[in-house]
């Protein structure tokens, strides 16, 4: 296994510093770029991220052709803040509504892919507290410079900020305790991805529209496994984006995220015929949540659904013919 990963790490791991905006612009050619931010209740951070992309990657360097925030059923002012900062805002449930509403991040990304037109699509989480434009340019670099690369994941150091205390490498708890062990057990060829759950990644539309999108927090693991199956390891790359600081979820929320990841892994193992199950795992999770000095029982549905590859959706197939300058 390591004989495959070593050369991959050497040839397919880059650094954002190698891709300043001038260099990406020079290599951009006829590509068109869409940047998508999925956002649920991110009024505190989304405006700043959108504003920087607009000023630095649209007005100063004409790199980003389309900047879209998907409002993922927010209950705060996310949509207004994002629009005021200059993004086009779409509401998750308003897109392809005849296919019904499904909650969660994966569905927000599927809907975003449906309404954008760039032949390169960059996804950036909207809860980043230390966003810099190198997140976008670093992810685009390998795609604009090497036609054999189809998908690029961000990697970074992940501090865990807990009040005043910060552990420099304590973040990414679901990654370290759930995703990395699962990947090493079942997809060892993918073990070289430093941040397999990173929410910052970019891909060619020609591949993104051909894979299913898992809803909820299963979307990143599913994309990695499915794009690996479709295109092979050498078509996947990663770029070091430095440090990522974001809003941490509670441990109970991360427990439910872990449920999404495990069920997603199960779905891929089953599809690949690598497990033969008498039963489906059940989707309910019972948790003991702390409230004040006591505990309360909470039952959640951690099941994930799957949206079909967009290329198979008639509305998308028709609309996509209008897209400017698709894959070269």
Ligand X SMILES: O=c1ccn([C@@H]2O[C@H](COP(=O)(O)OP(=O)(O)O[C@H]3O[C@H](CO)[C@@H](O)[C@H](O)[C@H]3O)[C@@H](O)[C@H]2O)c(=O)[nH]1
Ligand Y SMILES: O=C(O)[C@H](O)COP(=O)(O)O
Note whether 212 and 226 are within 8 A (CB).
Answer: yes
| d(C-alpha 92, C-alpha 99), whole Å | 12
Binding-site member from 87, 197, 262, 310 for ligand Y (CB under 6 A): 197
Q: Is 75 helix (H, G, I), strand (E, B) or coil?
A: coil
Binding-site member from 65, 66, 119, 125 for ligand X (CB under 6 A): 125
- Backbone torsion region of residue 96, taken as left when φ is above 0, otherwise alpha when ψ lies between -120 and 50, otherwise beta: left
Binding-site member from 47, 171, 203, 255 for ligand Y (CB under 6 A): 171
| d(C-alpha 303, C-alpha 262), whole Å | 10
Q: Which of residues 214-253 bind ligand Y (CB under 6 A)?
A: 248-249
CA angle 315/320/322 to nearest 5° reads 115
Nearer to ligand Y, 34 or 175 (CB): 175
Nearer to ligand Y, 12 or 158 (CB): 158
The answer to whether 217 contacts ligand X (rule: CB under 6 A) is yes
Counting every residue, how long is the chain?
A: 328
Residue 11 carries which DSSP code?
H
- The region of 13-21, 36-44, 81-89, 266-274 touching ligand X under the rule CB under 6 A is 36-44
Quick one: what does residue 160 bind among ligand Y, ligand X, none, with the CB cut-off 5 to 8 Å set by partner type?
Answer: ligand Y
Nearer to ligand Y, 67 or 198 (CB): 198
The answer to whether 220 contacts ligand X (rule: CB under 6 A) is yes
The answer to whether 307 contacts ligand X (rule: CB under 6 A) is no
Nearer to ligand Y, 169 or 280 (CB): 169
- The region of 60-68, 80-88, 101-109, 229-237 touching ligand X under the rule CB under 6 A is 101-109
- The region of 100-108, 138-146, 225-233, 275-283 touching ligand X under the rule CB under 6 A is 100-108
**Nearest residue relative to ligand Y (C-beta):** 171
The answer to whether 40 contacts ligand X (rule: CB under 6 A) is yes
The CA-based diameter of the chain, rounded to the nearest angstrom, is 60
- The region of 60-68, 75-83, 147-155, 171-179 touching ligand Y under the rule CB under 6 A is 171-179
The answer to whether 67 contacts ligand X (rule: CB under 6 A) is no
The answer to whether 126 contacts ligand X (rule: CB under 6 A) is yes
The count of other CB atoms within 10 Å of the CB of residue 264 is 26
Q: Is 275 helix (H, G, I), strand (E, B) or coil?
A: coil
Nearer to ligand X, 44 or 146 (CB): 44
Nearer to ligand X, 110 or 316 (CB): 110
Residues that bind ligand X (CB under 6 A): 38-40, 42, 72, 103-105, 108, 125-127, 197, 199, 217, 220, 246, 249, 257
């Amino acid at each position: 296994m390591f004989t495959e990963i070593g050369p991959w790490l050497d040839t397919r791991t880059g650094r954002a510093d190698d891709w300043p905006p001038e260099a990406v612009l020079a290599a951009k050619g006829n590509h068109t770029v869409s940047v998508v931010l999925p956002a649920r209740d991110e009024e505190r951070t989304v405006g700043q991220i959108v504003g920087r992309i607009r000023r630095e990657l649209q007005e100063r360097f004409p790199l980003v052709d389309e900047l879209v925030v998907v409002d993922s059923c927010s209950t705060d002012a996310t949509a207004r803040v994002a629009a005021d900062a200059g993004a086009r805002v779409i509401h998750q449930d308003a897109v392809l509504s005849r296919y019904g509403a499904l909650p969660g991040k994966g569905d927000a990304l599927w809907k975003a892919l449906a309404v954008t037109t760039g032949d390169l699509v960059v996804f950036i989480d909207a809860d980043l507290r230390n966003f810099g434009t190198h997140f976008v340019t670093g992810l685009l670099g390998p795609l604009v410079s090497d036609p054999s690369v189809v998908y690029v994941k961000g990697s970074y150091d992940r501090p865990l900020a807990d009040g005043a205390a910060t552990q420099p490498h304590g973040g990414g708890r679901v990654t370290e305790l759930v995703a990395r062990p699962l990947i090493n057990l079942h997809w060892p060829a993918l073990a070289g991805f430093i941040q397999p759950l990173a929410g910052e990644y970019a891909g060619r539309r020609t591949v993104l529209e051909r894979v299913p999108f898992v809803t909820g927090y299963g979307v990143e693991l599913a994309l990695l496994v499915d794009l690996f199956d479709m295109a092979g390891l050498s078509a996947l790359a990663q770029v070091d984006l430095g440090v990522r600081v974001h809003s941490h979820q509670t441990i109970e929320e991360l427990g439910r995220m872990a449920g999404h990841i495990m069920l997603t892994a199960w779905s891929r193992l089953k599809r690949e015929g690598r497990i033969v199950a008498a039963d489906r795992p059940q989707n309910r999770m019972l948790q003991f949540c702390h409230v004040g000095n006591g505990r309360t029982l909470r039952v959640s549905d951690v099941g994930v659904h799957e949206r079909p590859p967009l290329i198979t959706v008639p509305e998308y197939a028709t609309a996509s013919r209008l897209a400017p300058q698709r894959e070269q």
